Amino acid sequence: MKHIIILGDGMADWPVESLGGKTLMQYAKTPYMDKLASMGHTGRLKTVADGFHPGSEVANMSVLGYDLPKVYEGRGPLEAASIGVDLKPGEMAMRCNIICIEGDHIKNHSAGHITTEEADVLVKYLQEHLGNERVCFYTGVQYRHLLVIKGGDKRIDCTPPHDVPLKPFCPLLVKPMSGTENITVPEGGAELTPQQTADLINDLILRSQELLENHPLNQKRMAEGKDPANSIWPWSPGYRPKMERLSDKFPQVKRGAVISAVDLINGIGYYADLRRLTVEGATGLYDTNY
């Protein structure tokens, strides 16, 4: 028997006044979804385990049957796997957005949906000026990139930038966690303390703003009326997860594949030992190749 899991991440949405108070899904014509529902069984599924934030990585791992308290390590390590970065013991990976800062506020979390080609120029520039034996930047897709800190301590409080548009960024800088006794660090411990890790990341954020402000690529973007990509914003830290292959977890799954436009899901596929299929034109945005 073949199994297909289709996850409409965020598809529920909110009611829209101009659509008569309906959500986009309620308003849309969905004959094939309706047919599947009428021929099958429907119900509710709790995809976010108690104690975890309602994020894509949490829900998608949960749907695949993983025990989150045992394997969850944040987005960073999953995206590292997707772009081919093999995390070594003690290396902490973080999702590293390239964002737009306007004045003292976060204007948006994606630098106006910067292209991968443009972002690659900036990420390599940051690696040249900020990278060292402890800090490495890697290019991902569009505004989603990777920061790896050797010896970092993940017991830090980071804010996802998409949650705080138009908010002042200084109060949202990284802080050491309080009450970290239930969060494990690598065997042997981290080289840096949570405070030292937070200080290092905040220093990288502020220095990135100085470096990117007058970068020629950003000058060109602003001349074209586009948002500048003038700051990094690292978040969701973690170490290499100890995930089983999906075929070991569910013997009835002999082999499988994952299709997604984003590194996060492809990273889950990597650790689950699923083939990752690349679809031309898949962007994960409104113009994606469905």
Per-residue pLDDT of 133-178, as tens digits, reads 999 999 998 899 999 999 999 999 999 999 999 999 999 999 998 7
Q: What CA–CA distance (Å, rounded) separates 147 from 159?
A: 15
Per-residue pLDDT of 218-264, as tens digits, reads 999 999 999 999 999 999 999 988 889 999 988 888 889 998 888 88
Burial class (CB in 10 A: 0-12, 13-18, 19+), 39: exposed
Fold of 1-39+51-72+241-290: Alkaline Phosphatase, subunit A (3.40.720)
Highest average pLDDT, of 4-8, 52-56, 114-118, 182-186, comes from 114-118
Domain with CATH 3.40.720.10 in the chain: 1-39+51-72+241-290
Amino acid 185: pLDDT: 67
Q: What CA–CA distance (Å, rounded) separates 204 from 50?
A: 33
| pLDDT tier at 181, thresholds 50, 70, 90 | low
User: Quick check: 186 pLDDT over 80?
Assistant: no
